[in-house]
Structure 1
Amino acid sequence: MLSEQSTPVVRETLPVVRAAIGEIAEVFYGRMFDAHPELLADLFNRGNQANGEQRKALAGSIAAFAEQLLAHPDVRPDTMLARIAHKHASLGITSDQYKIVHKYLFAAMGEVLGDAVTTEVAEAWDEVYWLMANALIALETRLYAQTGAAEGETWQQMTIAERHQESPDVVSFTLRHTDGRPCASFRAGQYVSVQVELPDGAHQIRQYSLSCAPGRPEWRISVKRAGGAALPDGEVSSWLHHNARVGDTLTVSAPFGDLTLRPGDGPLLLASAGIGTTPVLSMLNHLAATGSPRPVTVVHADRTPDDHAHREELRQLVRALPDARLHLWYEEPDGQEPEAAAGLADLAAVELPESVTAYLCGPLPFMRSVRGDLLRRGVPAQDIHYEVFGPDLWLAAS
């Protein structure tokens, strides 16, 4: 809860901070990386730094948290905080790193806003920052404890047991512990981080959804090649495509992520596009393995049938469920899937049962479109869950 003395100050200055926070973030990251280059090399995603997405995400999360404190002073925004905490834990973030961020963030705020940052303003926003930081630290401490790891020590060595080319741009890797013990279970929809050493010596980290059923002795991830090997946004996926082979060892985190299949017997909508199919595969694998009778509507959109990774596996899983239906869209149909529709996904013709719970995963334009369709059809916002690959640019808008 924001204190009585800070509340009016934050309310009055929020528009100014929101308008300038993009510039503040740019100065902040520049100063911090100059002083701590290891953070950019070994922790922060260089691709998201290069395209500005990380800075937008920072702006969205801080502004959204401040707005929540003002609008609902007695309610902590746990959904937003949980999503960030899971991502931080998957990266091995530690509590002392929040002090580093604080130092350079508030120096940047003073540099950008100048005399507008009075002592009163600085103290009020300092309170906002530490309310958010301490809440995240507590959540992350709990997540580390649940995995049996000390703070920041989530990493383990895993061996690639199998490699399959699922589509021209997607390859899957089956992972086993190097000592032969079974992999830990996880919740359907979660992801792991993979850390690789690149040719320049940097240790970059990316997240990949677990695309298999929980409870198996092995894990599987499916990696889409992004950008190109020479581009920051594609350097890890390209490295894995070109270098990772059966028998090699990868550094992998414990499973994290809060977009998970909730228990129950109500109807489900699982909607994905592109590589967003991977958490859906995990959910369907789990439903099939447990013999679930739940009504399930599966929607998937892709560029072409050949680009649709795990296409036949998706069909088999839908067929394995007693009450499941599959709807496909391809931007460029080629006759391989005669029942698929042409173009972008359109839920107007898809019959949805009452009280459906929806899970969305894919590019932001796809999820915005599907979410809008669902809201117009009367699905409550709290029953629409989504997963974003990369920094969550939707926090302030969702």
Structure 2
Amino acid sequence: MSTALLILFVLLVLFVVVLMAKTVRIVPQARAGIVERFGKYKGTLPAGLNIVVPFIDKVRYLIDLREQVVSFPPQPVITEDNLVVSIDTVIYFQVTDPVAATYEIANYIQAVEQLTMTTLRNIVGGMDLEQTLTSREEINNGLRGVLDEATGKWGIRVNRVEIKGIDPPPSIKDAMEKQMRADRDKRALILSAEGQRQSAILTAEGNKQSAILNAEGERESQILRAQAEREAAILRAQGEGQAIQTVFQAIHDGQPDQALLAYQYLQMMPKIAEGDANKVWVIPSEITKALEGLGSSMNELAGIPRDATPRTRVDMGPSEPQIPESSAALGQRETSEAVQAAIAEAESAAQTRPGASAVRNAGPGPSVGEGGSTPTQ
């Protein structure tokens, strides 16, 4: 009897454990359990601890209520310009109604995949290849709108649709690469040509500025050179004028006689003989008479009187040369007027003493040199 009671007790415990397992159901968070009673929908179990009727109610499906991501393999799609491209998509969806997702559609993932494929072919079929490659956002929005509307009765909400990749045929890829390479080469050539043009423009502007600066420098150099030559000419003219006045005054102050002129003639004779063309030079035997005659003739030609008489000095003018600050013509005119004034003053002074006409006609030193060389010839 004790053995039979023990077996009965064990069976009773097993029955209680099985009964508790069939009665208590724990649903995880973000899940929903679909309960059927005798094959008919009875209710939906929320997350947590739930009590069902054992052996009568059955949890048929456990639906995931979280947002799910499904990636579909690449699908061939024909574009408007009859090119076949492979497009793979990613769908982000969420089950909002577990009952509809269970009883309205047998396999909602496969249904979403097929609907995505047909909608994608419809959208891409109205675009050419270039538009397809550059209109991913438009394709995503079109797919999302169609899928969200179609899957609403299935208890599914499509949150987002993404195009993972659009792969054209290899020949099209090669042609696109060639086109892209040609475009880049064209842009490179254009940039190179623009660089050369800018370089040529800058070089020309530099040459222009250099030529302008060189011309301005040459002009200023010529102006400065002309001014220097003008001042040098003015200084030379003033120097010559003062030299003439000094010699003229010295002749009048010194009152040279015939002996001095003869001595000057003897000093000039070696210089006369230094010329390369003078092979033979004959000194006359009557040199004393020649010198005496030379002295008398030069004395008469130069207007030098035989008797020493008081002389009036000629005004020598300023000892330092005065350089005019005006133009070259004004400077030359002032210099000429100064020389003429000095000569006129010298003539007026010479007219007041004897022999003035002879002095005015003979002039200063150069006449003496010419008179001295006449006997040698």
Short-chain TM bin:
under 0.3
Which structure is higher in helix share?
Answer: 2
Which fold has the larger relative contact order, with Cα–Cα distance below 8 Å and residues 6 or more apart in sequence? 1
TM-score (norm 1): 0.18
TM-score (norm 2): 0.19
State which structure, 1 or 2, has the greater radius of gyration over its C-alpha atoms. 2
